Amino acid sequence: MFLTFLTFLPLIGAIFLAFIPKHEEDAIKQTALAIAVADFLLSLQLYADFDTTTAAMQFTMDVPWIEAWGISYHVGLDGISLLLYIMTTMLTAIAILASFGIKKHIKEFMMAMLALSTGMLGVFISLDFFLFYMFWEFQLIPMYLIIGVWGGQRRIYAAVKFFLYTAVGSLLMLVAIIWIYFHFHKTVGVFTTDIMLITQQINLDMLQQKWLFCAFFLAFAIKVPMFPFHTWLPDAHVEAPTAGSVILAGVLLKMGTYGFLRFNLPLFPLASVEFLPYVCGLAVIGIIYGALVAMMQEDLKKLVAYSSVSHLGFIVLGIFAFNHYGLQGALLQNLNHGITTGALFLLVGMIYDRRHTRLIAEFGGLAKVIPVFTVCFMIMTLSSIGLPGTNGFVGEFLILLGIFQNHMGFAIVATGGIIFAACYMLWMFQRVMFLEIKNPENEKLTDMTPRELCTIIPLIILVFWIGFYPKPFTKTFDASIQHLITQVTPKDHQGSQEPHASANTDVKLAQADAGSSGSH
């Protein structure tokens, strides 16, 4: 019940906002922020109450909804979704705070943000296919409006492209869901759309798994986005307002990786193993391609957008490593990317607000003019590269550790991606922050305001916290990862895989590694 309340609180807030007169802009902003912050603080209670020793769903609620079709309102959280859930509430609050400067239609903007929040939270808690699909599609609309109404020059094009890409992908998933629904009835004898029940009892042969895997994969791969389905992302990111970009990078992309973890792996284990080389291949291509394209960008926001393609490739690689390190790294990197890239978009947004341009060539020598900004930017740049001591390092390290064990080749190529990341990020940083001040406009820049600092500081804290002591984060998903691995590993193959009994001690070792190299 508490979980349901938390999920719908933003939507209720959005409806409440509708009754505040349009001209009371301050009241609107403050109310929206208060709702989002309250939602975030309350969601921390979930972390406190979370039992880290079990992989079972917690905070569950299951009430019949459309009984004629066996559909129920079934929600809950496990280790995979808990931190994503909390990150969503946090980023919503930050994004709302970051958009206080919006000039037109502030009321509608805040309403859209809050509605979006409910849609995203709903995706992470749904344990019923039908419910999941509803939330999955529902969050498209507010995001579409945020890009299309408050975006940049080519906003309409970007918004429609964003919507259609996601819709096409998810509609095929819908067909797969209905198919599973009937198949489950044929084989088990119950009409149900309960994800937990179906995951447990479904019985599919190889061919069926392959088709269904593809239908689900397409939906999630577009969302992630994986190469070659990524073309909507740079457009959407560049045109979206700052808050939109933050949410897009921080949460919406995570829905794709979350989908892999919740559906593709446990439902279609055979097909997952079968398609592994292809998925990993696409992920690696994404890593290298994203990095190379990012290197050539002249627009700051586009650069960060393409770096997302590259980073998300790592996460997918970690997921398909099918071992503890890989999955742990992937889940952690899910958060890291939300934090780091979200912060980078915030920072780029701040500088855009001041100069109304994002072209790298327009800047140079900012370090002397706006030192605080530069320090924040540097921390996030280094975190994005994965410097030891920052969150990015722990995540990428674990992922590479995981993939090295199973697929050396992919790991070697992916490591190249990290080097490229250092190239494009540092080069960009140098051109923007150092060198001489060529453009006199830049001398007039003002440093960060307290409000802007408020949006960045929580993220900076998280960067170092995860970088030095990731345990409070990783411990939430260890049990779920173990459970997931047993689901993916076919029972008759279990002998040939390396035993996972000692995984927990391995994890500790890895964390110790991460910590010690961070302190150098």
Partner 1 sequence: MIPAPEIDLVSLAPVLVLSVFTMLVLLMDLFIGKNKSGLVFISLTGLLLTAVSSFAKTDWPVRSFGGSYVVDHLSVFFTMVFCISSALAILISIEYNRREKIRVGEYYSLILFCTVGMIILASSTDLIMIFLGIEIVSLCLYVLAGIRRGDVRSSEAALKYFLLGAFATGFLLYGMALLYGTTGTTKLAGIAEAISSGQMSSQPLVLMGMVLLVLGFGFKVAAVPFHMWTPDVYQGAPTPVTAFMAVGPKAAAFAAFFRVFTEAMPELASSWDMILSIIAVITMFVGNLGAIVQTNIKRLLAYSSISHAGYLLIAIIARNSLGGSALVFYMLVYTFMIFGAFGIVILIGREGKENLELEDYSGLGFQSPLLALSMSIFLLSLGGLPPLAGFIAKFYIFQAALNEGYVILVVLAVLNSAISFYYYLRVIVYMYMKEPQGEFQITLTPITLLVIVISVLVTVELGLFPGPVLSLAQP
Q: Which residues bind partner 1 (CB under 8 A)?
A: 65-69, 105, 108, 133-134, 137-138, 140-141, 144-145, 148-149, 155-156, 159-160, 163-164, 167-168, 171-172, 174-175, 178-179, 181-182
Nearer to partner 1 among residue 158 and residue 249 (C-beta): 158
Residue 74 pairs with which residues in a beta bridge?
Answer: 62
**C-beta atoms surrounding 22 within 10 Å:** 10
Nearer to partner 1 among residue 145 and residue 394 (C-beta): 145
Rounded to the nearest 5°, which phi and psi values hold at 101?
-85, 0
Nearer to partner 1 among residue 27 and residue 361 (C-beta): 27
Which among 359, 149, 179 is positioned nearest to 239, based on CA atoms? Answer: 149
> Least CB distance from residue 13 to partner 1, whole Å?
17
How far is it, in rounded angstroms, from Cα 252 to Cα 505?
33
Nearer to partner 1 among residue 71 and residue 87 (C-beta): 71
Nearer to partner 1 among residue 144 and residue 322 (C-beta): 144
> Least CB distance from residue 158 to partner 1, whole Å?
11
> Least CB distance from residue 29 to partner 1, whole Å?
18
DSSP string covering 380-444, please? HHHHHHT-BTBHHHHHHHHHHHHHHHH-HHHHHHHHHHHHHHHHHHHHHHHHHHSS----GGGGG
How far is it, in rounded angstroms, from Cα 237 to Cα 248?
8
How far is it, in rounded angstroms, from Cα 213 to Cα 211?
5
DSSP H or E segment with residue 65:
strand 58-66
> Least CB distance from residue 181 to partner 1, whole Å?
8
> Least CB distance from residue 163 to partner 1, whole Å?
6
Nearer to partner 1 among residue 61 and residue 172 (C-beta): 172
Nearer to partner 1 among residue 17 and residue 433 (C-beta): 17
Tokens of 81: 């979704």
> Least CB distance from residue 337 to partner 1, whole Å?
28
Nearer to partner 1 among residue 82 and residue 146 (C-beta): 146
DSSP H or E segment with residue 104:
none
**CA 310 distance to own-chain centroid:** 13
Give me the helix-helix angle, 25-49 and 2-17, nearest 10°. 180
> Least CB distance from residue 225 to partner 1, whole Å?
17
Residues in the chain: 520
> Least CB distance from residue 8 to partner 1, whole Å?
12
Rg (Cα) of the chain, in Å, rounded? 22
Tokens of 2: 């508490």
Nearer to partner 1 among residue 160 and residue 197 (C-beta): 160
> Least CB distance from residue 408 to partner 1, whole Å?
38
Non-local CB neighbours of 174 within 8 Å, separated by 6+ positions: 133
Residue 63 pairs with which residues in a beta bridge?
Answer: 73
> Least CB distance from residue 156 to partner 1, whole Å?
5
> Per residue in 175-194, is it b (16+ CB within 10 Å) or e — as a string?
ebbeebbebbeeeeeeebbb
Which among 116, 149, 124 is positioned nearest to 246, based on CA atoms? Answer: 116
Q: What is the largest CA-CA distance in the chain?
A: 74
Nearer to partner 1 among residue 35 and residue 176 (C-beta): 176
Which among 223, 367, 230, 376 is positioned nearest to 291, based on CA atoms? Answer: 230
Non-local CB neighbours of 66 within 8 Å, separated by 6+ positions: 130
